[in-house]
Structure 1
């Protein structure tokens, strides 16, 4: 199995990856095909696929922010069971992020991720792919070291229609697992930067950001 980076929508592997995304994720979580052109060409956005033979069987997108020395996992897709894809993608992603932090003269501080809470919503089927089941994914991410940030989270729909998407927790995986909180300013700065590409922000998201600005630190809770 190969871990291959994609940097263009012209790459045949991207066509396969986008089709896989559409089969697995709900529509509001999938950016339109043509809108991927600039993100893929952005050197700070890292999109990799797991290629088994000539088939794209998994994918992950993530970013490294040198100013904050943190990563963000945008998504992880396991398209087929029985290939140890979760471990394959997680290990290669972590190795890549550690190298990027090392080039930045630092040890990675940690990584953000949005994680579905199936105990709040049972709506997500994820294409019937059992390894993508929200209960399974949540437990796996907990094993990896992710912890829930202590606030009510919503995010703007990637359809850019001004709708707020709920049913997720915003989480952080610290490199130092004894860490009990992180600065609220880091969360605010990150979220406002991360969603700057979407012009139509829902009121619920704007209110959430304002509430976070009034805090000093945000507690890390068990996932």
Structure 2
């Protein structure tokens, strides 16, 4: 299996990657094809595909914020069971994030991810069972992710100003004994991460205002 970076919508594998995203994720979670041009050309955004026999069978996107000393996994897709795609993506991403932290002269505190709450998820995720929200949540819990203790929404990637719920903002701490995060770290991260979406819903602004009046956020089991 090959781990190949995509840095242009003109890359011959990008159309397959985008089609896989549209198969697995609901529309509000998928940026339109043409709107990927600028993000892919951003050196700070890392989009990789897992290629097996010339076919895109998985993909992941992530980034590292040296000033905050945190990473973010934007998404991970396992497109086919039985090939070890999830572990392949996990190990390659971890190595690359270690490299990025070392190159910036920082030590990472951990990595954020938005994780579906199975009790609220009604989407079929392409009928691909590794992407079932119950399966994914248990796998991510096993890896070490924990959910942050606050109700979470994010702006829709359809850029219509609507709020997307049904997820938990979660964190994989480098120190597994870490029990909480400064709320200011979370607000700084979310402000930077969603700066690409200027049209934010009232629910998101209200959430951010609540976070700004909070000191610490507990890390709880998934």
Taking structure 1 as the reference length, the TM-score comes to 0.98
Deviation for aligned residue 1:161? 0.8
Deviation for aligned residue 1:122? 3.6
| Residue in 2 that maps onto 1:104 | 104
Does residue 180 of the first structure (1) align with residue 155 of the second (2)?
Answer: no
Deviation for aligned residue 1:106? 2.6
Does residue 84 of the first structure (1) align with residue 84 of the second (2)?
Answer: yes
Give me the whole-angstrom Cα distance separating, in 1, the residues matched to 2:178 and 2:20. 36
Deviation string, structure 1 residues 43-97 (Cα, Å, up to 9, x no partner): 0000000000110000000001111111000000010000011101011101100
Cα contact 1:124–1:134 (8 A) shared by 2: no
Matches within 5 A, 1:137-148: 137-148=136-147
Give me the whole-angstrom Cα distance separating, in 1, the residues matched to 2:107 and 2:191. 24
Q: RMSD over aligned Cα, in angstroms?
A: 0.7
Does residue 162 of the first structure (1) align with residue 161 of the second (2)?
Answer: yes
Cα contact 1:112–1:173 (8 A) shared by 2: yes
Deviation for aligned residue 1:147? 0.4
| Residue in 2 that maps onto 1:55 | 55
> Where does structure 1 differ by over 2 angstroms across 4 or more consecutive aligned residues?
none
Cα contact 2:66–2:106 (8 A) shared by 1: no
Cα contact 2:114–2:168 (8 A) shared by 1: yes
| Residue in 1 that maps onto 2:11 | 11
SS at 1:40 equivalent: helix
Cα contact 2:155–2:162 (8 A) shared by 1: yes
Deviation for aligned residue 1:107? 2.4
Give me the whole-angstrom Cα distance separating, in 2, the residues matched to 1:221 and 1:122. 20
Cα contact 2:2–2:50 (8 A) shared by 1: yes
Deviation string, structure 1 residues 22-63 (Cα, Å, up to 9, x no partner): 111111111000000000000000000000011000000000
Deviation for aligned residue 1:162? 1.2
SS at 1:12 equivalent: coil
Cα contact 1:3–1:48 (8 A) shared by 2: yes
SS at 1:7 equivalent: coil
SS at 2:107 equivalent: coil
Give me the whole-angstrom Cα distance separating, in 2, the residues matched to 1:186 and 1:107. 15
| Residue in 1 that maps onto 2:132 | 133
Aligned positions, number: 222
Taking structure 2 as the reference length, the TM-score comes to 0.98
Does residue 212 of the first structure (1) align with residue 208 of the second (2)?
Answer: no
Greater CA drift, 97-106 or 56-65:
97-106
